[in-house]
Amino acid sequence: MDNIHELTSQSSVENLIEEQAADWLVRLDSETPPSAEQLADLKEWMQRSPEHRQQLKRLTQHWHSANRLTELSFPLPGSQRDGLLANLRYQFKQLFSHGWQVTATMGVAVSLTVAIALSLMPFNRDGVSGNGIYETRIGEQNTITLVDGSVIQLNTDSQIQVNYLGNQRNIVLTAGEAHFDVAKDPQRPFVVSAGEGMVRAVGTAFSVRLDQQAVKVIVTEGKVALASSASQPTETMQPTQTLQLAQQTDRGYLEKGQSVIFQPQVKAGLGNQVQELKQKEIDKQLSWRKGLLLFTGEPLAQVVSEVNRYTQLEIQITDPNVAAITIGGQFKVGETEAMLKVLETSFGIQVSRPNPSTVHLALK
């Protein structure tokens, strides 16, 4: 295939979370106890994903072996910044970017605050997540392992709520896209509610993408049933609430290799024809699971629509003459700047920036 470009590896998301965790440790190291608002902000940050909690725990352990805070306030060579906070941030950046190892202890305020926040988080043991809300921001992706061994991969700008009960495993997808690899348990149905749609499985693997009026489902293993929800569950659903599956009528079924854009609001059926996908097409549509965006001749307008999901930039096509240009390429999620460079050098597209947050695409 012509014009296929594989860009450099992605580590920006992990680095960003790592830097945020370091900033939290710096901000919380104070003789003044953290306020209720600060603690709530920290809890919200840690609830975004298991990775956020793990990074904070990891940095806390490193900080235990870091220099005494009072010994870190000296000006660093070659740095115009001085003062404790600037130097702490610098030390952390160096520690985790270049593998520095230093010694000593950590402030009591930080230890206590982190311990309190960790005690409020919805997880049971290291690497395993329990009931609660998990989310990714734009450009982030994450993997969550649940207590039964089921694995959820969250795509960019996505949010789920996990509600495991005695006889049901309920997941609410409130935004974005996720892939579910479900541990088999015939006695406990695994139900994903997305908008007005519901996807039910016992032991299988499938992805769900929530759009405004539809739910796109791709089955990669096993079989799922699709139904509409009379009352849409939300992130405010209490742990004691259950989805009344017995009152729902299955609208259709998907098996391995099948996909559909399900419209729950239609009175009968799925609203669209079920598509039979070859493995190559499944791999393409789910390439985000490997941190990739894969295009094989899609028009630029479609490519831009997809890429915009993964970046804070707003990419706009200002010249209708370029909207239909077909694009082939393999791009790393988060490497938007490199992708724009490829559009310029390999596809004859002019990239301009009217302001720092907007990109315009036109014909050269």
Following DSSP, what letter does each residue of 178-224 receive, concatenated?
EEEEPPP-TTS-EEEEETTEEEEESS-EEEEEE-SS-EEEEEEESEE
- Tell me which residue of 193, 181, 176 sits closest to 136, measured CA to CA: 176
pLDDT of residue 81: 40
At residue 124, does pLDDT exceed 90? no
* Inside any domain, residue 2: no
Are 225 and 330 part of one and the same domain?
A: no
Give residue-wise pLDDT tens across range 30-85. Answer: 556 667 777 777 877 777 776 777 777 777 655 544 433 333 333 334 444 444 44
Domain boundaries, position 117: 12-121
Are 100 and 41 part of one and the same domain?
A: yes
Are 149 and 272 part of one and the same domain?
A: yes
What percent of the chain clears pLDDT 90, i.e. is strictly above it?
43
State the chain's mean pLDDT as an integer.
76
Give residue-wise pLDDT tens across range 233-259. Answer: 444 444 434 444 434 678 899 999 999
* Inside any domain, residue 140: yes
Are 97 and 30 part of one and the same domain?
A: yes
Would you call 245 exposed, middle or buried from its count of C-beta atoms within 10 A (0-12, 13-18, 19+)?
Answer: middle
144-153, 226-235, 313-322: least confident range:
226-235
Give residue-wise pLDDT tens across range 332-341. Answer: 988 899 899 9
Give residue-wise pLDDT tens across range 217-228. Answer: 999 999 999 998
Q: How many domains does the chain have?
A: 3
> Residue 340 maps to which CATH number?
3.55.50.30
Select the more confidently predicted residue: 4 or 152. 152
14-28, 212-226, 255-269: least confident range:
14-28
Are 43 and 91 part of one and the same domain?
A: yes
Select the more confidently predicted residue: 328 or 75. 328
Q: What does the pLDDT average to over 120-139?
A: 71
Domain end among 277, 302, 337: 277
Domain end among 57, 90, 121: 121
Contact predicate 130/280, CB 8 Å: no
pLDDT of residue 248: 66
Are 99 and 134 part of one and the same domain?
A: no
Give residue-wise pLDDT tens across range 278-313. Answer: 999 999 999 999 999 999 999 999 999 999 999 999
Highest mean pLDDT among 23-27, 165-169, 283-287: 283-287
Contact predicate 216/209, CB 8 Å: yes
* Inside any domain, residue 285: no
Are 82 and 149 part of one and the same domain?
A: no
- Tell me which residue of 134, 121, 130, 122 sits closest to 149, measured CA to CA: 130
* Inside any domain, residue 263: yes
Are 168 and 300 part of one and the same domain?
A: no
Are 174 and 230 part of one and the same domain?
A: yes
Are 133 and 273 part of one and the same domain?
A: yes
Are 55 and 192 part of one and the same domain?
A: no
Domain end among 213, 245, 277: 277
Torsion sign over Cα 315, 320, 321, 324: positive
Select the more confidently predicted residue: 118 or 206. 206
Q: Give the confidence band of 140 by pLDDT, cuts at 50, 70, 90.
A: very high
* Inside any domain, residue 172: yes
* Inside any domain, residue 162: yes
pLDDT of residue 21: 80
pLDDT of residue 243: 43
At residue 87, does pLDDT exceed 60? no
First to last CA, the chain: 24
- Tell me which residue of 189, 187, 188, 225 sits closest to 206, measured CA to CA: 225
d(CA 86, CA 154): 34
* Inside any domain, residue 6: no
Select the more confidently predicted residue: 181 or 59. 181
Tokens of 169: 């495993």
> Residue 133 maps to which CATH number?
2.60.120.1440
Q: What does the pLDDT average to over 318-329?
A: 91
Are 176 and 261 part of one and the same domain?
A: yes
* Inside any domain, residue 3: no
